[in-house]
Structure 1
Amino acid sequence: MSERVDTLGMWSAVNQLPEQMLDALDRTKDLPGLPDRTEIANVLVLGMGPGGFAGDLLAVTAGPFMPLPIVVVKSYQPPSYVDEQTLVFALSASGDTPEIVQAAALAAEAGGRMVVVTGGGQLAEMAAVWDAPLVNVDPRLNLPRAGLSALTVAPMAILEQMGLFPGASQWVRFAVDQIRRRRDAARAPAAFLARRLAGTVPLIYGGGGLGSVAARHWKNMINTSAKAPAFNAGVPDLLHNEIAGWGQHGDLTRQIFAMVVLRHDLEHPEVMRGFDVMIDLMDEVVGAVHTVEAAGEGPVAQIFDLMYQGSVIALEMAASVGLDPGPVPAVVAARQALAGRTR
């Protein structure tokens, strides 16, 4: 086995996920300055990268239980409907994400009720000017992909305090318990699957909102930690489009692609049937089909369990070939190019 290289401490950050989640609950407890729930008609989440993904997580976990809609925006501009009845979460681990700094400024100007979750930077300064509730993210989490837990859990807890997401803290604690069980188990299953995926292009398929978001996390982690291509989609949507793309070239695709199916206990019965149909149609298209099961009580535990497994497997894939999972030079190069800077 190749020697593990990890200059940014990604292994430690991923394995500290339960403690990060509990810390986020503590930092959010009794947060002053929140509006009354009767003053809010809709919820907007502004985020990019981990912040945007945290918004998606919030939408699929809290959204089904809430009396108000949640909209996630990953761009420079908030929706035109933002006003004093909009609760706006601005999420950024660094506090300097350009898209979110601009979008948050516009949302505040439109009258949005701002809540900022950040590790500092411009957003923290803006929150002070707005006199807006501020949750300080542990600055040690300002690593690539390491601050996702805090950016997700803090809004959950805030919505619970406002009476919009009852029981959120308990759902988070169920997730903490499950991830600790998963973390304390043997590494062998994750390392085994990582070896099976090495040298392939994984297709990560999940079911419904929870599974689809978890599949995107797997794809992102394999891209950034293992520096390898991967693709994701969700059932039933892929049965209306993507499945048609596998109608030919089976001799080629069987050599390249492996399918990872993410399953959870909250799948709709028709989604379960959809998986059966998909696997039957794809059996001769991919080289192998691997199934990963979620565990834990409730939607928050189930999705975080799937995501944690994906994070660890991506790290194992990197370790198997001696790659450093932390740095993402291609992302840095893209950002520099967009900013008009040269190396």
Structure 2
Amino acid sequence: MENQKQIDKKNLRQIILDFPKQFAEGLSVGSGIKQEGKFNSVTISGMGGSALIGDMLKNYFLNEEIALSICQNRSYKLPPEAFEKSLNFISSYSGNTEETLAVLAEALEKNLPVVGFSAGGELARIFTEKKLPLAFIPSGIEPRLATGYFFGAMTKVLANCQLFPDISSKLLALESYLDNTNPELENQGQLIAQKIKSLTPVIYASENFSSVAKIWKININENAKTPAFWNVFPELNHNEMVGWTLPQSKFHILSLIFQKDHPRVIERMRLTKELLAVNGLEMTLIEIPGTSTLESLFSGWLLGEWVSYYLALAYDQDPTPVRMVEEFKKMLT
């Protein structure tokens, strides 16, 4: 434990333990925030950790059969969808993300309806100065760890705009569920990290829970400072799978199984595991707890955090800082 504290200088472990509390705070900052008008879709513009919430919302809508369309924008310019009766969410945790500020400038120039989500910086200054609707996200952690704040705030704003049913009670109940599940997820994450140490992890999931596989990959990159990759079933059975004929390095495949997955997708996972074993490749099937979409999404999110956290410790890496990202930003100036 002492060695853990020496490596984890900003106590990321405690942030992960406290994560379930974020939903209530997110709902609070989103309360009363709305944009007037009739909208057919939502365009979420953001980068990095500030954009992950869009991926999770898309999976939530898909599994709950909610017809509202979400367009994800990770660019310097707005996509065509942003101009077609779309509510524009401008998301930057730091408030200083170059690409997102460029998108905001374009949206204001075109007089598009916007709602801001930020913990401060230039984005918060502009929204405050122009008296535009802004959900002020609590500051003090890395953007990739603020998913609960963003999810609570964005779903509340969507409900305020009558684009989405109010799920506040479900999110508050989710806090209790995750608090009870978290210790078990931490233990499981530590075991998985031990299993994949010194190997390159590849994370698979179904299309319906693709955001979780993507977030696992990103957290392993940023927390453990090591490469990782991801893909989805059933599409990978039509192309990527063939690439395992001649792997050029040492990999370990982690396939995430959710209770809401299509039975044929789960069968594909099991058969893929059998087929790859013939080539000497190990694929671990991981059953994610949770009966509801929210429980599944965020149990998967938490387990991925623990895997990347303990993998970072195994590599003697402080999981919090992302020095290469900061160095690159300086090079751009």
**TM-score, normalised via structure 1 length:** 0.89
For structure 1, which segment, 173-182 or 70-79, has the greater mean C-alpha deviation from structure 2 after superposition? 173-182
Q: State the partner residue of 2:35.
A: 34
* Pairing 1:155-304 to 2, within 5 Å after superposition: 155-185=154-184, 187-210=186-209, 212-249=210-247, 256-285=250-279, 287-304=281-298
Whole-Å separation in 2 of the counterparts to 1:296 and 1:272: 16
SS at match of 1:149: helix
SS at match of 1:71: strand
Whole-Å separation in 1 of the counterparts to 2:40 and 2:129: 24
1:185/1:280 Cα in 2 relative to 1: closer, same or farther (>3 Å)? closer
Please, which of 15, 18, 23 is the counterpart of residue 21 of structure 1?
Answer: 23
Whole-Å separation in 2 of the counterparts to 1:311 and 1:99: 26
The answer for unaligned runs of 5 or more in structure 2 is none
Structure 1 residue 70, shift from structure 2 partner: 0.9
Q: State the partner residue of 1:57.
A: 56
What is the count of residue pairs matched by the alignment? 330
Whole-Å separation in 2 of the counterparts to 1:28 and 1:318: 33
Structure 1 residue 205, shift from structure 2 partner: 0.6
Structure 1 residue 276, shift from structure 2 partner: 2.6
- For residues 66-87 of structure 1, give each alpha carbon's deviation from its aligned partner in whole angstroms, at most 9, with x where no partner exists: 3331101001100235348220
Contact kept in structure 2, 1:8 and 1:327, CA below 8 Å: no
Q: Which amino acid aligns with 2:314?
A: S
Whole-Å separation in 2 of the counterparts to 1:315 and 1:202: 14
Contact kept in structure 1, 2:224 and 2:308, CA below 8 Å: yes
Q: Which amino acid aligns with 1:50?
A: G
Whole-Å separation in 1 of the counterparts to 2:65 and 2:125: 33
- For residues 181-239 of structure 1, give each alpha carbon's deviation from its aligned partner in whole angstroms, at most 9, with x where no partner exists: 222337433222211111111111111231x2111111111111111221111101111
Whole-Å separation in 1 of the counterparts to 2:186 and 2:123: 39
Whole-Å separation in 1 of the counterparts to 2:185 and 2:293: 24
Q: State the partner residue of 1:331.
A: 325
Q: Which amino acid aligns with 1:12?
A: Q
Q: State the partner residue of 1:101.
A: 101
Structure 1 residue 145, shift from structure 2 partner: 2.1
Whole-Å separation in 2 of the counterparts to 1:88 and 1:241: 35
Q: State the partner residue of 1:319.
A: 313
Please, which of 1, 8, 25 is the counterpart of residue 10 of structure 2?
Answer: 8
Q: State the partner residue of 1:75.
A: 75
Whole-Å separation in 2 of the counterparts to 1:163 and 1:286: 52
* Pairing 1:108-147 to 2, within 5 Å after superposition: 108-141=108-141, 143=142, 145-147=144-146
Structure 1 residue 176, shift from structure 2 partner: 2.0
Name the Cα RMSD after superposition.
2.2
Contact kept in structure 2, 1:218 and 1:311, CA below 8 Å: yes
Structure 1 residue 111, shift from structure 2 partner: 2.7
SS at match of 1:67: coil
Structure 1 residue 65, shift from structure 2 partner: 3.8
Q: Which amino acid aligns with 1:34?
A: Q
Matched, 1:87 2:87: yes
Contact kept in structure 1, 2:201 and 2:251, CA below 8 Å: yes
The answer for unaligned runs of 5 or more in structure 1 is none
Whole-Å separation in 2 of the counterparts to 1:86 and 1:208: 24
Q: Which amino acid aligns with 1:165?
A: F
1:281/1:287 Cα in 2 relative to 1: closer, same or farther (>3 Å)? closer
Whole-Å separation in 1 of the counterparts to 2:330 and 2:161: 40
Contact kept in structure 2, 1:206 and 1:263, CA below 8 Å: yes
Q: Which amino acid aligns with 2:87?
A: L
SS at match of 2:140: helix
Q: Which amino acid aligns with 1:221?
A: N
Q: State the partner residue of 1:43.
A: 42
For structure 1, which segment, 158-167 or 228-237, has the greater mean C-alpha deviation from structure 2 after superposition? 158-167
Whole-Å separation in 2 of the counterparts to 1:120 and 1:241: 43
For structure 1, which segment, 97-106 or 58-67, has the greater mean C-alpha deviation from structure 2 after superposition? 58-67
For structure 1, which segment, 10-19 or 178-187, has the greater mean C-alpha deviation from structure 2 after superposition? 178-187
- For residues 114-143 of structure 1, give each alpha carbon's deviation from its aligned partner in whole angstroms, at most 9, with x where no partner exists: 1111001111122124432111111123x2
